[in-house]
Amino acid sequence: QGKLLGGNLTVLTALAGTPYLPDFNGAILFLEDVDEAEYRIDRMLTQLGQAGVLKNLKGVVFGQCTDCVNKGTSYGAFTLNDVLTQHLGGLGIPVYQGAWFGHITDQFTLPVGGMAEIDADAGTLRLLEPVVV
């Protein structure tokens, strides 16, 4: 369980080192992106890790990554799953990929700051409180 924080990986990474980057301590991080090659996702997750964002999380949900494949010469031939496993797999927290949010049609809207619960085995993210009053 934790507070939902996150959004687009590219935008979030651009906030690293600024006063606008939220405090992710105890949060469930949700990420998505569009049209980013695997090596760029690797670089962005490395930057977030170095900025301390990935430590002390309660969980990570990676949504849809539309068109996130290298369109040119591959360097190492890593897949998106390989990159996510490398950066998130050893955190010792629930992590799953493929939630229905991101740059897609009929996506779910996630309330930033809302309390939620993640079950990585079941692939679920459940809101624990009303977010609209």
Domain range annotation of the chain: 2-127
User: Which pLDDT belongs to residue 103?
Assistant: 79
Taking only the tens place, the pLDDT of each residue in 19-34 is 999 999 999 999 999 9
**Residues 122, 129, 33, 12, Cα dihedral to 10°:** -130
User: Which pLDDT belongs to residue 78?
Assistant: 84
* CATH number, span 2-127: 3.50.30.60
Helical axes 80-88 vs 38-50, angle rounded to 10°: 10
Task: Let me know: does 64 contact 102? Beta carbons within 8 Å.
Answer: yes
Taking only the tens place, the pLDDT of each residue in 52-89 is 999 999 999 998 888 888 776 666 678 889 999 999 99
